[in-house]
Amino acid sequence: MSAAFTKTPGWLDWYRNPSRPAFRLPAGTVDTHCHVFGPGDTFPYAPERKYTPCDASAAQLFALRDHLGVSRNVIVQATCHGADNSAMLDAVQASGGRARGIATVRPDISDAELRRLDAAGVRGVRFNFLKRLVDTAPTEDLATIAARIAPLGWHVVLYFEAADLGDLEDFFTALPTPLVIDHMGRPDVGLPADGPEFGRFLRFVERGDVWVKVTCPERLTATGPAALDGEPHPYRDVVPFARRMIEEFPDAVIWGTDWPHPNLKSHMPDDGLLVDFVPQVAVTAEQRQKLLVDNPMRLYWPGEAG
């Protein structure tokens, strides 16, 4: 941790020695949801941030990538850096073409700056509706941003809680870009996977031009990472949601680690275990190839082989 910043009290640091997964990721796997934090003495955290994390550098992200057998990353701007995309861009550029970026921008960003971000490897912006992460999400500003980025062929990444979908759905539907939804729309996994809340989300995805990240079992779970006798899955309460998502939308799902896992309270996951979770929810080789390689390549490196 850099001397200039003190971590949020109770902050859980990312896992230093992840296990080597038993499941071998297919060649060309893309981790479509990860972040870099700082380091704070090089890339200071934003004054308006809601948390101060443990530093998590590009070099540390790439070491994890190689350890897990991932080929490429999509690095999502974290709210602790506000709209200063420098740390994310530095990481994308250090990847030698093996990373893309998702930025946070303001509505008055210049065309020249948008072109600069595009040339550097940015392919989308993120709209965050979680009140614990951002003060406001004024939809007029967001609509302006979406109109500005649409001509670049970028998409909008949406982060919201399942309970808020009803209020936001019309706004989302009117956006002029493809949509990428974080963490399966954050379902309450205490509710049934075949119940009305998740059903509403699936109907929203059905409209098309929507991609879904099957990510963050560690964030959604109440049952936790332990496998129990007779129930071999870690994060077993998330399994029916992820399986349903992948079965019903095999061509629209993508996967990621969410390293370095901001704001977790119950436990910090072993990233190797997160890889071993994949075959529990993508149960055929064809599903895994689409989830891990073919779908994210179509979205982030169109025209390139995985």
Residues designated catalytic: 258
| CA-based max dimension of the chain | 58
Question: Exposure of 229 by Cβ count < 10 A (0-12 exposed, 13-18 middle, 19+ buried)?
Answer: exposed
Left, alpha or beta for 123 (phi > 0: left; psi -120 to 50: alpha)?
A: alpha
Q: CA dist 273 to 43, 84, 213, 233, Å?
A: 30, 32, 18, 10
How many CB atoms are located within 10 Å of the residue 187 CB? 24
How many CB atoms are located within 10 Å of the residue 144 CB? 15
Q: How far is the CB of 24 from ligand 0GY (least distance, A)?
A: 26
* Interacting residue ranges for ligand 0GY, rule: CB under 6 A: 35, 78-80, 133, 182, 258, 262-263
User: Between residues 55 and 258, which has the closer beta carbon with respect to ligand 0GY?
Assistant: 258
User: Between residues 133 and 152, which has the closer beta carbon with respect to ligand 0GY?
Assistant: 133
Contact 61, 75 (CB under 8 A): yes
Q: How far is the CB of 136 from ligand 0GY (least distance, A)?
A: 15
User: Between residues 80 and 149, which has the closer beta carbon with respect to ligand 0GY?
Assistant: 80
Q: How far is the CB of 13 from ligand 0GY (least distance, A)?
A: 15
CA distance between the termini of the chain: 35
Q: How far is the CB of 76 from ligand 0GY (least distance, A)?
A: 7
Nearest of 74, 75, 69, 73 to residue 26 by alpha carbon: 69
